[in-house]
Every structure is written in structure tokens, then in C-alpha cells.
Structure 1
Amino acid sequence: MATIKKRENGKWQAKIRRKGYPVQSKTFVTKSEAAKWARDIESDMDKSTFKSTSLAEQKKMSDALEDYWIEELTEKKSAKTIRCMINRLKLVFDGLSLLDVTV
């Protein structure tokens, strides 16, 4: 069951605690938005289709590109070319989290 509380700043926070899942929490401008989000997340949990996005919100795209470079690409024949491409991509995605990037 979700808990929806009004915060001191006037916004609404929805928090979901369910066994087997990490605590989910998000803040909204209106109470109805918070309730809808909570219903959607709980529905996904009921259907076992829920995937937490907390790590994607925290990790920056530039850090993910750097990790991918280190883990997968340093031994490739075209490492120099790939490194240049990754550096350019890091400039394009500067400041964005993984969750901010879409297709």
C-alpha cells in the first residue's frame, strides 16, 4: 500500500513499501499525480513487471560511457577511434542521467 504525504514545501510525496522490492519514493506537484504514480507502480509489482529505475536515475551517462570503454572497448583494434567517439558522446550527454536518455 502506498503512503501519500504532503511535504513542507507544498508538494506531495508518494512512498511504496512492499516486501521483496526496494522502497520506491517520488515527489509530485499534485496529490492526484502522486496517487496515479503509486497505482501504476503497485500494479507493475502485482504483475511482476516492475523494474526499479533508481540506479538509472543516479548514474550519469558520461560515467556509463566511461565504464563501457574500460570494460569492453579498450582491447578492440579500433580503440583509438572508439575513444574519440566516446569523448564526443560524453560532451553531447553531459549532465544527463541514464534515465534521461531515450531513443
Structure 2
Amino acid sequence: MKKENNRIRKEAVALTYGPHGQAPPRVSAKGRGLVAENILDKAKEHNVPVQEDPTLVELLGKLDINAGIPEELFQAVAEVFAFIYRADQEAGNKLGRK
């Protein structure tokens, strides 16, 4: 999120990742303000974990929709997917799934 004129302006970027690493993750949605809130609401509605990283959002927000992430961001995005994987595993354990 960014702060402008004592207001907080939400920004969000959604990523999609194909199975077995066939292609780099891509930007599937992005937006500011109300659009960002809608992206976050959809994530919550579908139990998609959300990680806040304003610097990464700023960098990914410069990419076009459906653009693959550049190699320079692979490590940062891998950390996001690792966070999501761990959150999913923890949620599954709490629900008795394996």
C-alpha cells in the first residue's frame, strides 16, 4: 500500500503459476484503490493467502496483465509462493487434510 496526501492507496497484484514450473508466474490481475480491494476480496472469498510486500507490488504493478515475471523477480516471487504453500499446508493440517 502507498500513502499519498495522508491517505492510504491500496495496490494489489495477483499472480498465477502453472503446474510443474512450465512457465514463469504471470500477472493475472492488478489494480489500485477499489480494484485492489476487489482483488483482495476475491482472494479472501476463495481462501487464497495474501502476502503484503509493497516493494514487490510496486515492481509487479509495472508489468502488463498476463506478462510473465522477469527473471530478476524470480527469487522474490518464489518466496511469495513458498509463503502460500506453507499457509496452505497449515490450513490443511488444521482441517485434518494431508
Report the TM-score range of the alignment, normalised by the length of the smaller protein: under 0.3
Per the normalisation by structure 2, the TM-score is 0.27
Greater relative contact order structure (CA < 8 Å, 6+ sep): 2
Per the normalisation by structure 1, the TM-score is 0.26
- The structure having more radius of gyration, on CA atoms, is 1
